[in-house]
Structure 1
Amino acid sequence: MNQNTDPTPRDGLDVTEQETLPGTDKMERVPQHYAAGNKAKPTRRIGLGAAISTTVTAVLLAVLLTFSLTAKYYVKEPVIAAKPGAETETTFAAELDTIDRLFRSLTVYSNLDDEALLTAVLKAYVQQTGDKYAQYLTKDEFEELISDQNGTLCGIGVSVIQSTIGEGESAYDTIQIVNVYEDSPAAEAGVQINDCIIRIGTGADAVSVGTVGYEKALRLLRGEEGTQVTFTVLRAGQEVVLTAVRRMLETKFVLSHVYADDPTVGVVRITGFENPTAEQFRQAMDALIAAGCTSFVVDVRNNPGGLLTSVEDIATFFLKEGDVILHTRSRAQMDKKEKTTYAVTVKDGKVTSGSGKLSVEDIGRYSAYPLTVLTNGNTASAAELFTANIRDHKLGAIVGTNTFGKGIMQTTYPLSRYGYDGALKLTTQYYDPPVGENYQGIGIAPDVECALSEEAQKINFNLLTDANDNQLRRAVEALRG
């Protein structure tokens, strides 16, 4: 998948959807102070066992590659089920507290870190629940998640991949540039596509990407707004030293171009469904239409998902008022054989579904244009929901290979309401497409089967061109019937 030098960690297989709050039909998002860290948090100075009992009762740096459809965050306190019995709770807390006391009394190591111990236990607990998409997020991780979903980053403005130069023992890692943001610090510094960053820093402080490793080198390109970063790139066999001034940027989740062999076809690639994606998609589509494009390929290959509100918005560009986008089933609803339906809704002249930011004029904005959707085995979650909407509403053909198959969504709960930092994310619902069955573990089969050719598989996905991408070529052919 595409990685960015500026942080964009994502959780690939979830759909971040905000859930309806108990007793209201209003959808609410996490207040900004959670991300900004402005709200004072109480200091935790209680026993490890008691802390666990209380909590349980009550990477542009795209490096997190799980698949994601995330639900809206609860801003009000959710209802928490009681434990099976007081005895279970007492035993759970007491046993952990006993182990904690034994260590503190008997170990020769006196520098036990309470914060690190509690974090490790909470992460281990979540890992053992059987919910492979669940996560305990520390304060920093939660703030980073919010920042990523909002598409905010402080860096130089490039998309990159890991690349190796040389062979055998002489081989070393580099950071290869695959895209340079317009009007970015990188563009101003003279960075070019296919440059390979080999060193970061100057003089005695310079470090080699091959020595510190790809991930750490990416972090070194980030920093505070207004600070400089100097790096050396390898370009056509020559070393070039460049300096960029870091600044706040918006992550690019949508890439677009006019198809090389047919100027009437626009290609729009969505890399993730996050808060800025719908507006970026609108801008890309309008620019291609202005350039003379009259039909489109929407490429969601290797798209791990994202926010439910985001995919709702983008689906709305192709749907009619009242069209169903999905159905959800929580644990309680499954017991009662009930479901919640999400559709394109309007109230008082405003679109109330999705993010609530679209205008009535946006409904069906692009529905008149011929469309194909391009998928592969890494098309997951929110990307699958978009694909299912195009299929179920008969808006275009699906081309490529079977999708990943993630029909469940996660909800993220801030723990600040209980007096703790961080957040807990866990799987809370199944979501079903507008028509048909849930595709968890099954995926969506394409209308036109087309695997990436062996020749194309030898090339990094982000470096494929219109000339050597046979799947894209087949999607364009499908537009013509």
Structure 2
Amino acid sequence: MEKKDKTNKIKKNKRKYNLLTLVLISIVTFVIGGVGTFYYMNQKLEAATETNQAMNKIETVYSALYNGYYKTVSKQKLVNGALTGMVNSLGDPFTDYMSKSETESLNNTISSSFTGIGAEVQKKGNYIQIIAPIQGTPAKKAGLQADDLILKIDGKSIKGYSLSKAISLIRGKKGTSVTVTIKRGDSTFTKKIIRATIPVKTVTGHLLPKNKTIGYIQVSTFSENTSSEFKAEIKALRKKGAKSFVIDMRDNPGGLMDQALKMSSMFVQNGKTILQVQQRGQSAQVYKAGKKYDGGFKVHEKTVVLINSGSASAAEIFSAALNQSANIKLIGTKSYGKGTAQTTLPFTDKTELKMTIAKWLTPNGSWINHKGLTPTIKADYPSYAYQTAIDTKKTYSKDEVSKQVKKAQVLLNALNYSVGDANGYFGDSTVSAVNKFQTDNKLTVNGTLDKETINKLEELAAQKISENDNALNVAITQLNGK
């Protein structure tokens, strides 16, 4: 999620000590323990003194700014600034003081639910297209269908809006309403829909069309219900005839550690190590496979795991456990390399401190932080799959030279509309290729890279990438024993 992670969520009560409490504790300990404890008492007193001095300084700065700054300053702004400053001083991207909205977003991700109407959507030209309404949700009950275009939200046109902006307008508090204007074929109509809590499925699967004994399972994140969804998917695919499995962890940003433990244990022999977690100044805590995690449910079928640079945290815990403790091959590219675990400290104003509390190690004791997991077999998408999107704010035409033109040339070549060398120069060969592409796809034939042409170009390139998944092809070969 960043990608945001909430691994090993623990809620801790805040413990507050004043100087007098520390003195009393130390005096009692001194009487019992003698001279050795006198040194300990001095250490505690010194630490308390240093803390008090630091807090006094912070309070002085706060008071000076609030009362003496040349213009009025918000108390909340100063408090948030102090908290954010402390967190940022650590230089840890995974330790964060989160606002109320950020906390809510993280909790929604962890619980794998959100409040909205319940429709999967995508960007389609200038508008938002419904891929499919989710069963049992307000969108489904309102009669929304696949391919419906959303033109307006609450009476306001969303033409040109980004996908994220449109989604933010559709979502809202449970029980509130949102009115969407829908275009279906030649007709346009409006629907007033009451928002509700929408569960999000984190595990999907199917039998591979050309290899119906291979079950393909994709895990998008590790949320509260992921392990139960995963178990159910394994059972369902077995009933359909699956004799082996491909577990796709690509672009999975991680999530809850307990879910990774439960899923890993399904593949690992009881008693073998799944994970090690090491907190500051402590020996590593070792987690081993067993009924405690998997409930006695085991997967013995031949399995491979797909990973890439977007596989992080809990996805890496799962992948490393299967690789090192169950001899399961990893196929793809090197993973992200997030070897730390976080917990959260909630506050009464619904903000939270997300804090790194430990580092985790793979079964063999390796710390993969900033290193990632190296796949057993390297296999990747073609290079153009990682190209950034083409800027559609302007139209590109003959004789222009730019990086955006070069991106389009790369995609044209990939789709067999040859422009020769992708050098960024919009020459005659590029004009010809664009004209043919527009003709083949029933677009306005003008020889320029306008928004409509670029969108179609990227859409077809994405489709070709999904149809030519090199890592999945290697996985199939491995499972078929070829």
**TM-score when scaled to structure 1?**
0.70
Rate the CA distance shift 1:198–1:376 in 2: closer, same or farther, 3 A: farther
Name the counterpart of 2:346. Answer: 414
Does 2:307 match 1:375?
yes
Instruction: Say if 1:71 and 1:410, in contact at 8 Å, map to a contact too.
Output: yes
Alpha-carbon distance in structure 1 between the residues aligned to 2:149 and 2:124: 8
Name the counterpart of 1:473. Answer: 473
Does 2:355 match 1:426?
yes
Name the counterpart of 1:11. Answer: none
Corresponding residue SS for 1:263 = strand
Rate the CA distance shift 1:289–1:466 in 2: closer, same or farther, 3 A: farther
Tell me the CA shift for residue 269 of structure 1.
0.8
Name the counterpart of 1:339. Answer: 284
Please list the CA deviations of residues 251-290 of structure 1 after superposition, one character each: whole Å capped at 9, or x if unmatched. Answer: 2111222212222222111110011111111222222222
Does 2:249 match 1:320?
no
Tell me the CA shift for residue 375 of structure 1.
0.9
Tell me the CA shift for residue 323 of structure 1.
2.4
Tell me the CA shift for residue 303 of structure 1.
0.4
What one-letter code is carried by the residue in structure 2 that aligns with 1:100?
Y
Please list the CA deviations of residues 143-199 of structure 1 after superposition, one character each: whole Å capped at 9, or x if unmatched. Answer: 543343122322222344556549xxxxxxxx4445542332223334445555342
Instruction: Say if 2:100 and 2:350, in contact at 8 Å, map to a contact too.
Output: yes
Tell me the CA shift for residue 84 of structure 1.
6.3
Name the counterpart of 2:140. Answer: 187
Bigger share in helix: 2
Matches within 5 A, 1:44-83: 64-66=1-3, 68=5, 70-77=7-14
What one-letter code is carried by the residue in structure 2 that aligns with 1:397?
K
Gaps of 5+ in 1: 1-63, 167-174, 346-358
Tell me the CA shift for residue 425 of structure 1.
1.6
Alpha-carbon distance in structure 2 between the residues aligned to 1:462 and 1:180: 23
Alpha-carbon distance in structure 2 between the residues aligned to 1:443 and 1:140: 31
Alpha-carbon distance in structure 2 between the residues aligned to 1:79 and 1:109: 34
Corresponding residue SS for 1:70 = coil
Structure 2 counterpart of 1:439, from 356, 368, 391: 368
Instruction: Say if 1:199 and 1:207, in contact at 8 Å, map to a contact too.
Output: yes
Structure 1 counterpart of 2:337, from 395, 399, 405: 405
Rate the CA distance shift 1:210–1:366 in 2: closer, same or farther, 3 A: farther
Corresponding residue SS for 1:288 = helix
Structure 2 counterpart of 1:392, from 313, 320, 324: 324
Alpha-carbon distance in structure 2 between the residues aligned to 1:234 and 1:264: 41
Gaps of 5+ in 2: 18-42, 387-457
Does 2:71 match 1:109?
yes
Alpha-carbon distance in structure 2 between the residues aligned to 1:79 and 1:371: 50
Corresponding residue SS for 2:255 = strand
Instruction: Say if 2:6 and 2:344, in contact at 8 Å, map to a contact too.
Output: no
Instruction: Say if 1:68 and 1:380, in contact at 8 Å, map to a contact too.
Output: no
Instruction: Say if 2:182 and 2:190, in contact at 8 Å, map to a contact too.
Output: yes
Structure 2 counterpart of 1:252, from 201, 206, 211: 201
Name the counterpart of 2:116. Answer: 155
Tell me the CA shift for residue 235 of structure 1.
5.9
Name the counterpart of 1:52. Answer: none
What one-letter code is carried by the residue in structure 2 that aligns with 1:109?
K
Alpha-carbon distance in structure 2 between the residues aligned to 1:83 and 1:131: 29
What one-letter code is carried by the residue in structure 2 that aligns with 1:370?
K
Please list the CA deviations of residues 324-360 of structure 1 after superposition, one character each: whole Å capped at 9, or x if unmatched. Answer: 2101111111xxxx21101134xxxxxxxxxxxxx77
Alpha-carbon distance in structure 2 between the residues aligned to 1:460 and 1:400: 23
Tell me the CA shift for residue 388 of structure 1.
0.6
Name the counterpart of 1:54. Answer: none
Between the aligned residues of both structures, percent identity stands at: 28
Corresponding residue SS for 1:183 = coil
Rate the CA distance shift 1:310–1:453 in 2: closer, same or farther, 3 A: same
Q: Which has the higher Rg, Structure 1 or Structure 2?
A: 2
Tell me the CA shift for residue 237 of structure 1.
8.6
Instruction: Say if 2:113 and 2:198, in contact at 8 Å, map to a contact too.
Output: yes
Alpha-carbon distance in structure 2 between the residues aligned to 1:406 and 1:106: 44
Name the counterpart of 1:26. Answer: none
Greater Cα shift, 219-228 or 436-445:
219-228
Instruction: Say if 1:178 and 1:462, in contact at 8 Å, map to a contact too.
Output: no
Rate the CA distance shift 1:441–1:236 in 2: closer, same or farther, 3 A: farther
**TM-score when scaled to structure 2?**
0.70
Alpha-carbon distance in structure 2 between the residues aligned to 1:121 and 1:432: 33
Corresponding residue SS for 1:186 = helix
Instruction: Say if 1:367 and 1:395, in contact at 8 Å, map to a contact too.
Output: no
Matches within 5 A, 1:207-226: 207-210=156-159, 213-226=162-175
What one-letter code is carried by the residue in structure 2 that aligns with 1:414?
P
Equivalent residue pairs, number? 385
Instruction: Say if 2:261 and 2:293, in contact at 8 Å, map to a contact too.
Output: no
Matches within 5 A, 1:287-326: 287-326=236-275
Corresponding residue SS for 1:390 = helix
Corresponding residue SS for 2:211 = coil
What one-letter code is carried by the residue in structure 2 that aligns with 1:341?
V
What one-letter code is carried by the residue in structure 1 that aligns with 2:335?
T
Name the counterpart of 2:90. Answer: 129
Instruction: Say if 1:188 and 1:244, in contact at 8 Å, map to a contact too.
Output: no
Name the counterpart of 1:286. Answer: 235
Alpha-carbon distance in structure 2 between the residues aligned to 1:250 and 1:462: 27
Cα RMSD for the two superposed structures: 3.4
